[in-house]
Structure 1
Amino acid sequence: MSEKYLFSHWLNLFCQVTLGGCSAFLLLAAPTITNFPVSKLLAETAISQNLEAASFFQQGVTRYNRQDLQGAEYAFQKALQRDPNLGAARNYLGNILIEQNRLDEALQEFTEVIKLNPNSSEAYYNLGLVLHRQGEKDAAITAYRQSLVIDSTRVAALYNLGLLLYEQGKLEEAIAAYQKAINLDSSNANAYLNLAIALQQQGQIEPAIATYRQALKLNPKNATAYSNMANLLATHGQAPEAISVYRQAIRLNPKSASAYYNLGVTLYNQGEFKKASGVLKRAHNEYHQQGNIEQAQKIEQLMQQIAQKSGQQQPQASQTATPSQSSDSTVQTPEPQTANQPETPANPGDVPVSVEPQSTSTSPGQ
């Protein structure tokens, strides 16, 4: 029994079970669509033998490209009334439904596209995207993988597959997916960032730092990459560079409580008590504004400890202190804090960020 048949059989069963009850699923943070690729207009190839269906399809494409989603939906629905087997119209319609967060309806459209064309890598990818947004992670992984069986060069499928595998703790598979995505598109800064985070989690420190550097070459304004790289540098004996990198993260995101805190801890461990106190005060204020009272109280205790140390400090102590000083005066730099929204790279966090998954549209003839 072929893999394609098994997946199609699974797909039919999945849709029978879930199409009526998808609204009960918890929607998790997932990739968002913010930019549609330019879709080809009808040219020489007839999209349908039904001239009215072809005409409505053309109108739908034109309106879709103008981001008139309501008008495009109307036109594609009219086209499908005249030719229900018009898979390209269903794929466009599915993308519109995703954009409007009408996920159950989108799932139906992409399921129909796959029934009409079981070899559509694009349809399986789009199906995976819907399942991904519905929190059906295992089903989404299956759909992304089937998309890649058909077309191994689909970067968006590799990227989102890596994101889900990371969330499931399958670091080696996630790393492999991100590396393949980067091999196909070396300009993808977020793929480098997510790869660096996975490498960091796996304990591959030097490769992780190198990958963060590459991410920052591509996107010098990524505060998450600066913050996470600084944490690695600070905890692996490169405090001077870590301090510089933390400050760059703060310049990019002046409201980052965790960056202030980690910078303050690193300065403290270097014996720079006065500087540490000032930075930790800012961290305290940011945490307090966020309502994180527990972390704010933790910082208050640390600041009291710094005040005591400052009173005992010899004039040259700030120049001689190192990260290897005795345990009674060294504070462990915490792990990067988790961001609430993995798709928001501006917030520091030890969570991969997801880029626009390039939800694509079927061109005429496909």
Structure 2
Amino acid sequence: MLEDLQITNIFAIGLVVVSISLLGYFSVKTLITSNSFQQGIKLYQAKDYQGAEAAFRKVIAINSTNDVVRLLLGDLLNNQGKTDEAKELFTQVINRSPKNADAYLRLANILLLQEKQEEALKNLEQSKALFQKQRQPEKAQTIAKIIQQVTTKTK
């Protein structure tokens, strides 16, 4: 009976130690991610695009599910003329989060730059529909105007 109690206590202590260790690990990971993200934003604002790119890539390496950072990195790459890399990032976000209206909008922008109006219009329509579902009518109206402009230019 005493032996069973000791085994139970040892098991409970081990479980607590493992839980605290995991909590510590995830806290440090979150802190590093947050610091790298903030550093990337500051570098981007200071127009240190290479530094910002490195910081954003570090965040993605630590937290591969962070779609906001993927969108920011895609914007950064697009502004640097690395449209194929940006397009790939936006496509990854769409594949992972098909309800991310911003990803469709950013991909449409690149497609317009590549003069792929038909594909761009599909992405603009998808973005508009998602913004409407997300109760963001102002954004949906803005995209509707862009769709009208693109449609007028292609005729």
Give the TM-score normalised by the residue count of structure 2. Answer: 0.74
Alignment pair present for 1:269 and 2:113: yes
Partner Cα distance (1:262, 1:209) in 2: 18
Partner Cα distance (1:215, 1:293) in 2: 32
Identify if the C-alpha distance between structure 1 residues 293 and 263 changes in structure 2 by more than 3 Å, giving closer, same or farther. Answer: same
Partner Cα distance (1:253, 1:193) in 2: 20
1:254 partner SS: coil
2:131 maps to which of 283, 287, 296:
287
Aligned residue for 2:3? none
| Higher share in helix | 2
Partner Cα distance (1:194, 1:215) in 2: 10
1:188 partner SS: helix
Aligned residue for 1:211? 55
Q: Structure 1, residues 52-78: CA drift from partner, whole Å, max 9, x if none?
A: xxxxxxxxxx9xx6xxxxxxxxxxxxx
Greater gyration radius: 1
1:143-158 alignment, distance < 5 Å: none
1:13-28 alignment, distance < 5 Å: none
Aligned residue for 2:21? none
2:47 partner SS: coil
Does the Cα contact within 8 Å between 1:260 and 1:282 map onto a contact in 2?
yes
Q: Structure 1, residues 166-202: CA drift from partner, whole Å, max 9, x if none?
A: xxxxxxxxxxxxxxx9xxx7x9333322221222122
Residue 249 of structure 1, CA deviation:
1.7
The one-letter code matched in structure 1 to 2:109 is: V
Identify if the C-alpha distance between structure 1 residues 249 and 190 changes in structure 2 by more than 3 Å, giving closer, same or farther. Answer: farther
Residue 310 of structure 1, CA deviation:
2.4
Partner Cα distance (1:206, 1:245) in 2: 17
Structure 1 stretches of 5 or more lacking a match? Answer: 1-61, 66-155, 157-180, 312-366
Aligned residue for 2:35? 191
1:184-263 alignment, distance < 5 Å: 188-263=32-107
The one-letter code matched in structure 1 to 2:123 is: V
Structure 2 stretches of 5 or more lacking a match? Answer: 1-12, 17-26
Q: Structure 1, residues 129-174: CA drift from partner, whole Å, max 9, x if none?
A: xxxxxxxxxxxxxxxxxxxxxxxxxxx7xxxxxxxxxxxxxxxxxx
Partner Cα distance (1:255, 1:188) in 2: 28
Q: What is the aligned-residue RMSD (CA, Å)?
A: 2.2
Partner Cα distance (1:290, 1:225) in 2: 21
2:98 partner SS: coil
Partner Cα distance (1:226, 1:268) in 2: 20
Partner Cα distance (2:98, 2:35) in 1: 25
Q: Percent identity?
A: 25
Q: Structure 1, residues 339-365: CA drift from partner, whole Å, max 9, x if none?
A: xxxxxxxxxxxxxxxxxxxxxxxxxxx
